[in-house]
Structure 1
Amino acid sequence: MRPSLALALLATTFQTLTSPASAAFDCKKAQIAGFEYDLSPLAHDIFLVTNTSTPPSTSSVKYAINPCMPLQPMPDSVPKLDRCPENSWVCRSVTYVKDSVPRLEEVGSVAGVSKSDQPTLQATAEGSEKPREFHWKMDGVQVDQAKWSTDIKFVCNRSAKNDDLPKLVAYKDGLLELEWAVPAACALGDDGKDDGGKDKSPGDGGKDGNSDEGDDEGGSGFFATVFTLLVSVFILYLVLGVMYNYLVVRAHGLDLIPNRAFWREFPYLCADFAQHIWDTVSGRRRGGYSVV
């Protein structure tokens, strides 16, 4: 072999080995829309199992999932044909149980085929704000001219736990759709900010620090509560009074109104009270006797 050809082959091999495309997926420093996420708390195999009655048997569908790396190899005691394919990140298996005897009918990779396969991360909505949702996508094996694949929708949820399981949304035509709401889906440095980028502090109920606005809302809420209470009491008074007059007093017509004489004089009492207040404020009301 000529030296120039040998050097060229050596350079090509070195470039292939050091190419960024061959770099391992860094789950701890995942980049999404220019922001960094730490998905490493999810770097372990998890399992979702759904059981369906299919007389005379029961079908059990099991999903093994690891969003950070290929699944751990199955023990050698499991027959090779019954194992999840090597380099699988998401594996689907279907088992039928009849008379307590399980029979594996299907097993295949829904994400991951070769060592070079890596997931793609894409924000649900484009923008300058830190994505609160993003998709984890990866292709799997080819089965009967259909390409199996996985789409995991990650949702930032700080009130959840990282060991919460994902929710199975659908599996149709080889596409597995999951939704995973966990704190790990929140961008690094995102310490409880809302979608608008305003800080949420424990004392302001998630507002942008405007305490005056909170005080105004608290005051209006108090008066609204008092007004609602008064109206409710008045309605209850009318209902009970009408029932009493009808059932006990045997009244009819306008006589059903409780304390009818008082309500008939009520407008005049209000007018006299208003006149009394006006005379006091304007200085027309003086002490002593008034001329008759």
Structure 2
Amino acid sequence: MDIKQLYYLCALERERHFGRAARACCITQPTLSMRIKQLESELGMPLVRRGKQFEGFTPEGERVLERARTLLSHYDNLKLEVEAMKGRLTGTVRLGLVPLSCMDLSPVLARLRQRYPGLGFEIDDMTADAIVQGLEKNRLDIGGGFFEPEVLAQLNSLALPEQGVVLACGPEWRERLPTAPTPQELAALPLCLPKAGMYFRGYLETVFARQGVRLQPMLESDSVYRLMRAVHAGLGCALIPAGSVLFSELPGVECRPLALPAMARIGALVMRNDDQASPLARGFFEVAKELWHPLV
């Protein structure tokens, strides 16, 4: 058994396809298949269920995968720790962000790159549940979004200030809106909202339902950018979390704070809270705390 075989096995789990896993590992598909079969032969048990294509892992394969992820995490962290001892922090910081959390991490990334020029970044839009799973399986270093308090209690977290909800509107709607619109008046607008099933949309529906109001959006999207572009084009008004950098990039769009109850989930950055947290994650948190300490 060698470390590369474990990398190949974990790549297969991640990609769920032999060809894609091989490309991710920069090897040929026959080579990846051969190395995994060698591992199975050495362990004396099948790890992968094969048909005409990849069909998943055997129960034994799932247990080996769990151990492999832990071993690879320690191995990768050891290499990073050695570099850190030399005063260097290198590699790719893997981040998962909930799109509607409206987090602008550019200042953190810029300071990290200034301090450690060898760093790179990979950012994926994900749900909060997928972020927690990604951290557990060492597929992510950092997550950002809305999380339940009990979830945050199990992670190292940096809570962001409560910014509330804003109504974003263009010039054609600005003059028609009352200073403090009621839920009924808001629901009567041509609304641009997050898609059904997203946490923030569920929060809005709950808040308005308590007032006997049902939201019927004119446009739905899982992208804050698309919602704001629709507002900028005059299609309607959007209800979104406050704090997006996009607000300042769209001239003519005004954002009015709304007096709505606080969300049950808390906006936060998160990382693992154990010895498997990578040096990259710890370095990221150090810089984030430096920049946001006055705010939290």
Q: TM-score, normalised by structure 2?
A: 0.21
| Higher helix content, 1 or 2 | 2
Q: TM-score, normalised by structure 1?
A: 0.21
Higher gyration radius (CA): 1
The higher relative CO (CA closer than 8 Å, separation ≥ 6) is in 2
